[in-house]
């Protein structure tokens, strides 16, 4: 299925092709504060629909994940990094209006301990 998503103001818009039935709820210092629920997809399944210049990026800790957010509204719709299987995108499913959050299987991850 192809989902359309965006930040709150729409300056960052994207499409993601995935079967989204589960999401990760991480308790690291970043995720705990921002409250996102993440679904991971291969980078080729993610397409930014707006100019990359609209995207701001923050890195912390080991600097291996690029946490992308909108400098206008502050929403963080996705992040990018590498996995054992290749380049990945972590999509904040809260930024996908067509995903029913109540139907997702949520997996808690202890990112605080990494």
The whole-model pTM stands at: 0.91
> So what's the architecture of 2-113 in CATH?
Beta Complex (2.170)
Percent of residues, the chain, with pLDDT higher than 90: 75
Q: What is the pLDDT of residues 48-63, one digit of tens each?
A: 999 999 999 988 777 7
Using left for φ > 0, alpha for ψ between -120 and 50, and beta otherwise, residue 57 falls in: beta
Which of 23-27, 32-36, 49-53 bottoms out in mean pLDDT, i.e. has the lowest? Answer: 32-36
In the chain, domain spans:
2-113
Establish how many alpha carbons lie within 13 A of residue 5's alpha carbon, considering only the half-sphere containing its beta carbon: 25
| Contact assessment for residue 90 and residue 79, using Cβ atoms and an 8 Å cutoff | yes
**pLDDT given at position 72:** 95
Residue 17 confidence class, pLDDT cut points 50, 70, 90:
very high
């Amino acid at each position: 299925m192809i989902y359309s998503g965006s930040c709150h103001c729409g300056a960052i818009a994207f499409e993601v092709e995935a079967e989204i039935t589960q999401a990760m709820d991480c308790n690291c210092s970043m995720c705990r504060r921002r409250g996102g629920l993440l679904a991971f997809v291969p980078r080729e399944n993610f397409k930014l629909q707006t100019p990359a210049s609209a995207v701001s990026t923050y890195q912390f800790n080991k600097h291996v994940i690029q946490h992308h957010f909108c400098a206008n509204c502050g929403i963080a719709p996705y992040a990018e990094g590498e996995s054992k299987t290749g380049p990945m995108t972590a999509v904040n499913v809260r930024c996908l209006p067509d995903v029913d959050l109540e139907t997702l299987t949520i997996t808690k991850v202890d990112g605080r301990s990494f």
